[in-house]
Structure 1
Amino acid sequence: MPFSRYVEIGRVALINYGEEYGKLVVISDVVDQNRALVDRPDEVRRIINFKRLVLTDFKIDIPRLAKKKVLSAALEESEVFSKFENSTWGKKLAKRALKTTQTDFERYQAAVARKKTSAAVKKVFNKLKSASE
């Protein structure tokens, strides 16, 4: 399968480092081979290093250096943020965020549930194994 995630204007990227970790932004211009100008409707346009971005499969059609109004309209029309949240990657990030907010008791309950499930699976597996012999 050929590579399909290119750095281009309108490409949606995920910030993978810093204070804004986990936020989706749109590339509105490429400054040089190491940096891009990124934008989001509710935030200030800024330059970010490519090392701090992870490109997604999503791309919106916007002109270079699009105004906030045009960007907002394109994002609403394509519903990129909701599509990302419903993707496997988005669900994984949401699950990870939920796990970090768990209390000690919730972690304990999850551990007990995993142990109980594992014991049930092991019991069925051993039953099937002994039946096949």
Structure 2
Amino acid sequence: MPYARFVQIGRVCLVNYGPYRGSLVVVVNVLDHNRVLAEGPTSKVPRQVLQLTRLSLTDLMVPIQLGARSSTLAAAYAKAGTDDAWAASSWGKKLASRSKRAQLTDFDRFKVMVARKTKASAINKQVKVLKRSAA
């Protein structure tokens, strides 16, 4: 399968370094082979020059023209349903799960541990019953 995530106008990227880490931005202009002009319409990332080493390209695209205005970008972003598509992707789900898990309190972690033990115990009982009936 050929590589499909190219740096291009309208490409949605995830910022992986800096103060806006974890935010989605859209490439508005490609400045050179190292830098792009990007803006995050819903993540409140202002239009700025970002290095490509600080971005992770996603499969998502927004249909915009070169140097689109902020209002045009926001409208196209909403029309394309980018936030919903990101939330439905496995990458977005994994990041949401990590963030939710990082915000757990001590008691929440305890409840998760107890639930895992209960589930493992129930599975082990079922396995023993199946082994006995198969023998």
| TM-score, normalised by the number of residues in structure 1 | 0.91
Return the offset for 1:93: 1.3
After TM superposition, the structure 1 = structure 2 runs for residues 1-133 of structure 1, keeping only pairs within 5 Å, are 1-41=1-41, 42-133=44-135
What amino acid is aligned across from residue 47 of structure 2 in structure 1? R
What amino acid is aligned across from residue 90 of structure 2 in structure 1? T
Return the offset for 1:86: 2.3
Return the offset for 1:70: 1.1
Give the whole-Å Cα distance in 1 for the aligned partners of 2:117 and 2:55. Answer: 38
Return the offset for 1:65: 1.2
Equivalent residue of 1:44, what SS? strand
Q: How large is the RMSD of aligned CA atoms in angstroms?
A: 1.4
Give the whole-Å Cα distance in 2 for the aligned partners of 1:81 and 1:35. Answer: 24
Give the whole-Å Cα distance in 2 for the aligned partners of 1:21 and 1:126. Answer: 47
Q: Structure 1, unaligned stretches of length 5 or more?
A: none
Give the whole-Å Cα distance in 2 for the aligned partners of 1:47 and 1:127. Answer: 62
Give the whole-Å Cα distance in 1 for the aligned partners of 2:134 and 2:51. Answer: 58
Give the whole-Å Cα distance in 2 for the aligned partners of 1:33 and 1:44. Answer: 21
Give the whole-Å Cα distance in 2 for the aligned partners of 1:55 and 1:20. Answer: 15
Return the offset for 1:102: 0.7
What amino acid is aligned across from residue 19 of structure 2 in structure 1? E
Return the offset for 1:98: 0.9
Moved more, 69-78 or 79-88: 79-88
**Number of residue pairs aligned between Structure 1 and Structure 2:** 133
Give the share of equivalent positions with the same residue, in percent: 40
